[in-house]
Amino acid sequence: MLEEPRVECGSPPTTNGAFRKAVAAAIQPLAPNLPCSSKPRSTAMDISRTAAATPSDPFREARLTTLKSLNISGMAVDSAVKQQVFKGFDADQDGLVSAEELAKLGNNDPAKLADTQAMVSVFDRNGDGALDQREFGASRLLDGQNLKTLLGVQDEAGVVGWLVSRADADGDGALSADEYAIVAPPSRISRIDADGKSVPEAQEETNARDFSRIDVDQDGRLSTEEMTESLRTAPRLIQFGDHGKATNALAARNDTDGDGALSFDELSSAATAAGAASTHVADLLKAADGDGDAKLSADELATAAARNGGLYKLTPIGAGLTPPSGGDLLLSRLLRATVNSLSDQMASQLGGALNRKA
């Protein structure tokens, strides 16, 4: 039985109905495709029927195995790719990727540095001004199509081909155990010993287990087909960031008249471009216009975002969230669209950059 993803839209018994509805409305824009339910729902999957549908598929058993184990092998390949991309961008090898390092691979276009800094700030969870490997791996820059664009490839097979090229010392188009160790992601698994202490698993042990899972035919080599199949069925990336930090970019990218603030018309145009109704533009202006000029500056947008910060973070909504207004929800949508646009644009600008560097 596989538990279906869901959004918990209910509330504790002590919470009033108005607040419950407000929280449900707040959650839905952040996860619009998830069912809204107060109880877990399970879906039975007929494995035998899946198998019968593809009798000639040589990787059928691999798919069934990874399905049952939540495709740990796919996660290993995905992590290996992201680790190598991270190393490619980390020019000074200090374990951090800065906006300047990203801009350098993008031909040092000074006009784009502000956009790069804005995207870095969104995913910079510890606030040190750069992205460590986990923050970088969780950014939208490495999500789905953007990763393929970044590497200058068309599909998962291209992504795997890029990874293999980083470690295939003998040029046979596959990875031996020793070659896989070159690109293997760091072990993050710990076990509790007899004394109740957490003991990290040895990297060699993690590598051997992941290698065996990916090596479907157990021939001691990871073919591109085996790794591609693992990557293709890997779980989707979960992004962690704070869209509330993108207020400067939101203001700059939509200030069409260059007066340093967003008018009603500019906000309405931004809402339309983001696929949102402009119904709540007036609500947003009324709530956030601190100086009464009928426009919103970047500082006013930042203040508005800070008032309900949990709404803009891609993490579970906490107990401190106040019921969001229509203006709050619109601002959340605009900020999310801004981050998506920044990431997509950056991936396009950097497309193939690591290949050119190599």
Is the predicted pLDDT of residue 34 greater than 50, yes or no? no
| Of the candidates 161, 138, 126, 114, the residue with the CA atom closest to the CA atom of residue 346 | 114
Domain boundaries, the chain: 96-131+242-358
Give me the mean pLDDT over the 294-318 stretch. 76
pTM over 0.85: no
Which 8-state DSSP code applies to residue 171? -
Do 272 and 330 meet the contact criterion of CB atoms below 8 Å apart?
no
Is the predicted pLDDT of residue 281 greater than 50, yes or no? yes
Q: E-assigned strands of the chain?
A: 2-3, 7-8, 36-37, 42-43, 190-192, 198-200, 261-262, 296-297
Is the predicted pLDDT of residue 44 greater than 70, yes or no? no
Instruction: Say what the alpha-carbon torsion angle 332, 338, 343, 346 is, to the nearest 10 degrees.
Output: -170
Read off φ and ψ for residue 68, nearest 5 degrees.
-70, -30
Give me the mean pLDDT over the 156-167 stretch. 95
pLDDT band at 8; cut points 50, 70, 90: very low
Return the CATH number of 96-131+242-358, one of 1.20.1440.230, 3.40.630.10, 1.20.840.10, 1.10.238.10.
Answer: 1.10.238.10
Summarize pLDDT for 81-119 with one digit per residue, the tens.
999 999 988 989 999 999 888 888 766 566 667 778 887
